[in-house]
Amino acid sequence: MSRVSRRTFLKATGAAVAALGLTRLVPLPSFQRSLSTAARTYSNFEDVYRQKWTWDKVTWGTHLVDCYPGSCSWRVYTKDNVVFREEQGAQYPQIEDRVPDMNPRGCQKGGCFSEVMYGAERITFPMRRVGARGEGKWERISWDEALTQVADGILDAIQEQGPESVIFEFGSGEGGTVHGAVPGWRLMRLIGATVLDNNALTSDFNVGIYETFGKFHFVSSIDDWYHADLLLLWHMNPLYTRIPSAHYIMEARYNGARVVSIAPDYNASTIHADLYVPVEPGSDAALALAVCKIVVDRGAVNEPFVKEQTDLPLLVRSDTGRFLRQPDVEGEGREDQLYVWDRASQKLAKAPRKTLKLGKIDPALDGAYRVRLHDGSEVEVRPAFALLRELLEDYTPERASRITGASPRLIERLADLVIEAKRIHILQGFNTPKYYHGDLMERSMALLLALTGNFGRQGTGMRGWNSSQLVMANNLKSKPGFEGFMELAQKQLEIEHEVKKRDPDLTPEMLAIEIEREEAKRSALAPLNMGAMTVPPHFFWYWHGGYREVWNRRDWSDTGMKRSFDEYFREAVEKGWWEGVVQPKPDQEPRVFIGACGNTLRRTRGGGKLLLEHAWPKFKLVVTIDYRMSSTARQSDIFLPAAAYYEKTDFRFPTAHLNFLVFTDKAVDPPGEAKPEWEIFYLLAQKLEERARARGLESYRDRHDPPREFRFDGLLHRYSMGGQIGPHDEDKLAEDLIYDTVRAGALPERTSLKTVRKKGIVRFTHIGIDAVGMNMATDIKPNKTINPLTWHVDKKVPYPTYTRRIQFYIDHEWFLEAGEQLPVHKPTPKMGGDYPFVMTSGHQRWSIHSMWVLNGVLSRTHRGHPTLFMNPQDMKAKGIEDDEEVRVYNDFDSFYVRVKRAPSCRPGQVVIYHAWEPFQFRGGKSYDFAIPGFIKWLHLAGGYGHLRYWRWNWVPQQVDRAVMVNVEKLT
Ligand code: SF4
Distance in angstroms (rounded) separating the CA atoms of residues 641 and 855: 18
Each residue's pLDDT tens digit, 417-453? 999 999 999 999 899 999 999 999 999 999 999 999 9
State if residue 953 touches ligand 1 by the CB under 6 angstroms criterion. Answer: no
Q: Does 70 contact ligand 1 (Cβ within 6 A)?
A: yes
672/650 Cα distance (integer angstroms): 20
- Using a 10 angstrom Cβ sphere, with 0-12 exposed, 13-18 middle and 19 or more buried, the burial of residue 218 is buried
pLDDT band at 595 (very low <50, low <70, confident <90, very high): very high
> If you average pLDDT over residues 833-847, what whole number do you get?
96
* Alpha carbons 886 and 866: distance in angstroms, whole number: 12
User: What span, in angstroms and rounded, lies between the C-alpha atoms of 450 and 447?
Assistant: 5
Instruction: Report whether residue 69 contacts ligand 1, using a CB cutoff of 6 Å.
Output: no
For 666-673, what is the mean pLDDT?
A: 98
CA gap 29, 39 in Å, rounded: 15
Count CB atoms within 10 A of the CB of residue 861: 11
Instruction: For residue 557, give the amino acid letter.
Output: S
Assess whether pLDDT exceeds 60 at residue 5. no
Instruction: Please state, as a whole number, how many other Cβ atoms lie within 10 Å of the Cβ of residue 412.
Output: 13
Q: How much distance in Å is there from the Cα of 716 to the middle of ligand 1?
A: 35
pLDDT tens for each residue of 165-196: 999 998 776 679 999 999 999 999 999 999 99
Greater model confidence, 45 or 756: 756
What angle in degrees, to the nearest 10, is found between the helix axes of 438-451 and 284-297? 20
pLDDT tens-digit readout, 7-65: 332 333 333 333 333 333 333 434 443 444 444 455 677 777 777 788 999 999 999 99
Q: What is the pLDDT of residue 588?
A: 97
C-alpha to C-alpha distance for 211 and 206, rounded to whole angstroms? 9
CA distance 934 to 469: 33
Q: How many CA atoms lie within 13 A of 869 on its CB side?
A: 21
Spatial contact of 854 and 848, defined as CB atoms under 8 Å apart? no
CA 658 to centroid of ligand 1, rounded, Å? 13
Residue 7 has what pLDDT? 36
**Statement: residue 4 has pLDDT above 70:** no
d(CA 467, CA 735): 19
Q: Which of 131-145, 477-491, 707-721, 828-842 has the lowest mean pLDDT?
A: 477-491
What's residue 520's pLDDT?
Answer: 85
* Mean per-residue pLDDT over the chain, rounded: 93
Does residue 662's CB lie within 6 angstroms of at least one atom of ligand 1?
no
User: Mean per-residue pLDDT for 679-704?
Assistant: 97
Does the CB atom of residue 492 touch ligand 1 within 6 A? Answer: no
Cα 851 to middle of ligand 1, angstroms: 12
62 lines ligand 1 (CB under 6 A): yes
Buried b (16+ CB within 10 A) or exposed e, 731-762: ebbbbbbbbbbbbbebbeeebebeebeeebbb
- What pLDDT score was predicted for residue 433? 96
Nearest of 423, 445, 441 to residue 433 by alpha carbon: 441
CB 259 within 8 A of CB 292: no
- State the number of CA atoms in the 13 A half-sphere of 735 facing the CB: 9
**800 CB neighbour count, 10 Å cutoff:** 25
Per-residue pLDDT at 552:
98
Find out whether 630 and 200 touch, Cβ atoms under 8 Å: no
Give yes or no for residue 214 CB within 6 A of ligand 1: no
Nearest to 309 by CA among 381, 213, 407, 405: 213
Q: Round to whole Å and give the CA distance between 651 and 242.
A: 20
pLDDT given at position 811: 98
**Distance (Å, whole) CA 295 – CA 385:** 13
Asked whether 848 lines ligand 1 (CB < 6 A), one says: yes
Is the beta carbon of 480 within 6 A of some atom in ligand 1?
no
Distance between CA 117 and CA 122 in Å, rounded? 7
Phi/psi for 854 (5° steps) reads: -100, 0
Nearest-angstrom CA–CA distance, 519 and 509? 15
**Structure confidence at residue 948 as a pLDDT band (50, 70, 90):** very high
Decide if 310 contacts 324 (C-beta within 8 A): no
Q: Give the distance (Å) from ligand 1 centre to CA of residue 106.
A: 5
* Cα–Cα dist 39/282, whole Å: 58
Q: How far apart are CA 547 and CA 539, in angstroms?
A: 10
Q: Shortest CA distance to 57 belongs to which of 31, 30, 85?
A: 85
Residue 396: count of CB within 10 angstroms of its CB: 16
* Confidence at residue 22, expressed as pLDDT on a 0 to 100 scale: 31
At 874-925, the pLDDT tens digits run: 999 999 999 999 999 999 999 999 999 999 999 999 999 988 999 999 999 9
CA distance 838 to 123: 38
Q: Which of 105, 108, 172, 664 to mutate to test the pocket of ligand 1 (most atoms within 8 A of CB)?
A: 105
**Which residues are within 8 A (CB) of 19 and not within 5 positions of it... i.e. 6 or more apart?**
none
Residue 667 near residue 650, CB atoms below 8 Å: no
Q: What percent of the chain is predicted at pLDDT more than 90?
A: 88
Instruction: Give the integer Cα–Cα distance in Å for 142 and 460.
Output: 55
For ligand 1, atom 7, the nearest C-alpha belongs to 70
Task: Report CA(714)–ligand 1 centroid distance (Å).
Answer: 40
Contact residues for 815 (Cβ-Cβ < 8 A; gap 6+): 821, 938, 941
Q: How far apart are the first and last CA of the chain?
A: 49
Atom of ligand 1 nearest to the CA of 67: 2
- Per the CB < 8 A criterion, the answer to whether 25 and 34 are in contact is yes
Q: Is residue 172 lining ligand 1, measured as CB closer than 6 Å?
A: no
Q: Name residue 841's amino acid.
A: S
pLDDT band at 522 (very low <50, low <70, confident <90, very high): confident
Q: Give distance in angstroms: CA of 863 to centre of ligand 1.
A: 22
Among 385-389, 694-698, 834-838, 914-918, whose mean pLDDT is lowest? 914-918
Q: Which of 71, 72, 243 to mutate to test the pocket of ligand 1 (most atoms within 8 A of CB)?
A: 72
210, with CB counted inside 10 A (0-12, 13-18, 19+), is: buried
Confidence at residue 17, expressed as pLDDT on a 0 to 100 scale: 33
Q: Which atom of ligand 1 is nearest to the CA of 108?
A: 4
Would the CB of 110 count as within 6 Å of ligand 1?
yes
Query: Peptide bond before 706: cis, by omega within 30 degrees of 0?
Result: yes
Please tell me the residue having the least CA distance from ligand 1 atom 2: 70
In this prediction, residues 804-821 reach a mean pLDDT of: 98
- CA 848, 850, 851, 856 dihedral sign is positive
Verify cis geometry, omega within 30 degrees of 0, for the bond prior to 93. no
Mean pLDDT confidence for 266-277: 97
**Residues 6 or more apart in contact with residue 162 via CB below 8 angstroms:** 192, 584, 588, 700, 701, 702, 703
Ligand 1 near 106 CB (within 6 A):
yes
Q: What local confidence, expressed as pLDDT, does residue 526 receive?
A: 80
The per-residue pLDDT for 887 is 98
The number of the ligand 1 atom at minimal distance from the alpha carbon of 106 is 6
Ligand 1: residue whose CA is nearest its atom 3: 110
Predicted local confidence at residue 476, as pLDDT: 83
How many angstroms is it from 451 CA to the middle of ligand 1? 36
- Average of per-residue pLDDT across 646-665: 96
What residues pair up with 953 in beta bridges, in sequence order? Answer: 950
Percent of the chain with pLDDT over 70: 95
Q: 3-state DSSP call for residue 907?
A: coil
Residue 54 burial (CB count, 10 A): 10
